[in-house]
Amino acid sequence: MEEPSPADRLATSPTTKPTSLLRRLIDLDTTWSLHIHTICQPFPRFLLKALEISGDGRFCCPIPIALFLSPPSSNSSSLRQILILLFLGFLLDLIAVGSIKYLIRRPRPVYNKGMHLTVAVDHWSFPSGHSSRVCFIASFLYLSLASLTEAFSQVESSGNGFLSHWIGPDGKAVERSVFGVCLWSAVTSMSRVLLGRHFLFDVIAGACLGLLEALFVLYVIKPWI
């Protein structure tokens, strides 16, 4: 028989005020999550699956590596630094989410269907790794907006005609793209509940974790790069 998780032991311990509050929060989270999942069933599942794939670590992690090795990055030290920090953030997120899931061991919703787990820790639900990952990306890019603009300006000045056309005379394309990423991260995070992969609190915790990871990368790791 599997050993109870710390969350289960806390919830089933002798009745105390903190335990009672935790039990009520878990029950409320379960009820809300099921209600949201149920009323959104008509939502096209293929769109939710597409969002799931777009936020998958196996899809996201190779992107900064590929961009770092691409010719445009060789013309911008700022862009190389951003890509390095982005990749280190992905590694940090992988370690943080995996460790928390292993410690908490909250089961996924019983109505979670059609999910292909890759590693054992993915059997657990709290926190949402997709939410932490996409919110890290959005928070990191938003907080790095000035560096991003500088990076693309460096690449543009090297004679990249495509970037000159994309950025435009007002230079607002980078800002609009980052806001698009923020919208994508919010929709992808919410899709985890609609798809039945996670409870609502898993997603909220994942989003908060992603923001903390972005702050850690920018204000702790970046000065060492």
Active centre residues (catalytic)? 130, 198
Distance of alpha carbon 7 from alpha carbon 2, whole angstroms: 14
Structure-block tokens of residue 208: 């908060």
Q: How many CA atoms lie within 13 A of 219 on its CB side?
A: 8
Indicate the DSSP class of residue 43. S
Distance of alpha carbon 203 from alpha carbon 212, whole angstroms: 14
Determine the residue type at 62: P
Contacts of 90 (CB under 8 A, 6+ apart): 57, 60, 61, 64, 133, 136
Is-contact 131 202, C-beta < 8 A?
A: yes
Handedness of CA 159, 164, 170, 176 (dihedral sign): negative
Question: By C-alpha distance, which of 118, 94, 121 is closest to 5?
Answer: 121
